[in-house]
Each structure stands twice: as C-alpha cells, then as structure tokens.
A = this chain, B = another copy of it.
C-alpha cells in the first residue's frame, strides 16, 4: 500500500486511527516507517536518520541534557481487529484496533510532540523502531544498541509502552529454563520393567507449587517475582512408559538480581534435576534516584509503579541510561483482540511529556 501522508498537527486520536489503519505486523513495517520518515522530514528542527525500518529524529540544540523517547512501530498479527474504531463505552471515549494499546497510542503522541516541540528544554532523540514483538534478533532498538550506540546516547530514556499513563519504572528480568526428569521406557503392559519419568515430574511441580516468590523493594517500589511452569511435555506412545518429561519454567526476577544469579537460584530450587537455560535477560533497575529520572517523575506527576514485565527499557539500562516506561493504555490489554486505548490517556501522556520538555 502507499504510505499515507501523516498530519502531525491533527488530533492525537485521529492520528492514532490513521496509524492503526496502516498494518505493520513485525517484519512488515516498510509502509509505516516510510510514512513516519516522510512526516518527520517535513520538519526543519529534526535531524532524521533511517536504519532499516527504524527512524531516529534528533533535535540538535546543544542542551545540557539529552533524552530518548522511543516506541515501536510493529504489532502482533491481525486478529480480526482492523480497521480502527472510535467507540464510547461506559462514557469512556476509546480507540479500538490492532496496536491501539501496544503501542501506536504512544507513537501518535510521540509524533505530535516531535513535530510541535521545536525548542524543547532538553535535546530529544525520538525513536520509532521495528520488530519489538518477535525474536530479539530482529529488534531495531537492539540493532541500534549494537551498531549505532551513539544514536542512543542520552541521560535518560522514556519508552512509551502502555503503562496506564503513569510511570512504570525499571523492569524485571526473565528467564526460561527446562527442568527434565529421566526414566526407562518399557511397554505399559509391563510397567514394572520401566521407570516412569512423568511420575517423577510430580516432585518438580510440588516445588513450584510450594515456592514462595520474593517481593523486593527498590527505590520505594515493590517488585513481585514469580516462578511458574509455562509448559510441560512427556510421553512416547499410549502404551509406553515414558523415559523423559520436560517442564518449561519461566522465572521473573527483581532487577537487583542478575540473570546469572537467577540461574544459580533456579539450580538450587531444582537441585537433583537437569536444568537447561533456554534464554535469560537481565531486568532494569528503576533508577528513580537519578536526577534526570526525578525531574521526569516530578514533571509528569503521579506515583511511579514497578514494571513487572520485561521491556526494552532493559536495553537502555544495559547502556547505562536510566529508563522508564510511560505510555497510554492498559498493558494488560496488549495482544488482546479487543485492545483499545482511552482517548484521555493520550491527552494525559502528551501533557506530561510536554510539561517535562518545556520546564
């Protein structure tokens, strides 16, 4: 499809609907990236760089502080939730449609501010990136961090993932491991000749059930950890005693614990069993004691919450840049067919950021 011409001065809800109606499933972001790039290039105060389908637009005002404001352009696959719709439910004005919440609402606000704030009090690096919803090898922000870290250099970063229009600080780490039990196959008619690996997994599940996850307070925020089976598989055939059972476990851990420490902890919890790490990423400390973060929280108002899920704020944290999540929409609606964003959230977040960048 031909990229639509984006009017960055139009109402945020209208702009959001235009953005939703440009399908942009991960790995298919060319059209929306073209539209965003073209709109940003009509400004005179932004230095625009394109890398793949990731767009970086920077003010170059020589301010004493530089901040990143980022969001991704891609969505999960369509689920009979296009085109966009504007509906009032229980007196709340909402925009429905694929990506409304995750996270074209944030992108719409960000684009309006990028165009409008020609003289922000902090230099701003606006980032619109590709492939957040799929394997990180494709992630545009990861690629910039690896290949163009200069473009991400900043004193502070805001990721506009949905956060109910309040600041969600840091993020927890996440790790997936597989815990396996082993036995001996036999015909199930002579089960005493074998050794049932699925029966042995009962003890693994018992340890998971009885596990008491920590609640860790950092900068006044309480991070709740979690340790859960997210999958289980075993069995050879309906008449065979199984010789292996694999429990897939997901561990979510507070950002004071590194992935390496998390792995050591899981090896203790599952002592006596095979434990294989499938993937693991560190979380991000909230960093609210950092002056730039404090200024941000003061400007946008409200009480910060901890971010329980893992988000790309951890990539900034890995570069030494304190970062928070702050965006319109309820994160629990992400990836749901009926995702929506309240129009009031768009206004709240826009006002918060505008206040911060004008102070």
List A residues at the B interface (Cβ < 8 Å): 172, 174, 176, 187-193, 196, 198-202, 204-206, 208-209, 213, 224, 226, 228-242, 245, 247-248, 250, 252, 308-310, 332
Point out the residue from B174, B191, B232 that lies within 8 Å of A252, measured CB to CB.
B191
In Å, the complex CA distance between A199 and B230 comes to: 9
Q: Given A208-B202, A247-B198, A250-B238, decide whether A309 and B189 contact each other with a Cβ distance below 8 A.
A: yes
Contact between B205 and A202, CB atoms less than 8 A apart: yes
Q: Do residues A228 and B191 form an inter-chain contact, with CB atoms below 8 A? A: yes
A224 contact set on B, CB distance < 8 A: 190, 192
CA distance A238 to B281 in the complex (A): 14
> How far, in angstroms, from A201 to B245 measured CA to CA in the complex?
13
Q: How far is the CA of A175 from the CA of B212 in the complex (A)?
A: 38
B332, A226: Cβ atoms closer than 8 Å: no
Please name all residues of chain B whose beta carbon is closer than 8 Å to the beta carbon of A332 when the two chains form the complex.
Answer: 187, 190, 193
Q: A200-B209, A206-B206, A230-B235 are in contact. List 6 more A-B contacts (CB 8 A).
A: A176-B238, A188-B226, A192-B224, A193-B332, A196-B208, A228-B241
Task: List the B residue with the shortest CB-CB distance to A191.
Answer: B226
Closest chain B CB from A342 CB (angstroms): 20
Q: How far is the CB of A193 from chain B (nearest CB, A)?
A: 8
The CA-CA distance from A201 to B234 in the complex, in Å, is 13
A279: min CB distance to chain B, Å: 9
Residues in B neighbouring A309, C-beta threshold 8 A? 187, 189-190
Q: In the assembled complex, which residues on chain B have CB atoms less than 8 Å from the CB atom of A196?
A: 208-209, 228-229
Closest to A172 in B: B189
Choice from B189, B202, B241 contacting A174 with Cβ under 8 Å = B189
| A14 to B: closest C-beta gap in Å | 31
A242 to B247, CA, bound (A): 12
Of B187, B205, B239, B241, the residue contacting A201 (CB under 8 A) is B205
* 4 cross-chain pairs, A with B, having the tightest CB-CB distances, nearest first: A231-B235, A202-B205, A189-B309, A191-B226
The verdict on A188 contacting B234 (CB below 8 Å), with A199-B209, A229-B198 known, is no
A172 contact set on B, CB distance < 8 A: 189
Please tell me if the beta carbons of B190 and A308 are within 8 angstroms of each other in the complex.
yes
Establish whether residues A234 and B232, one from each chain, have CB atoms under 8 Å apart when the complex forms: yes
> In the bound complex, how far is the Cα of B309 from the Cα of A238, in angstroms?
13
- A200: min CB distance to chain B, Å: 8
Q: CA–CA, A132 to B304, complex, Å?
A: 68
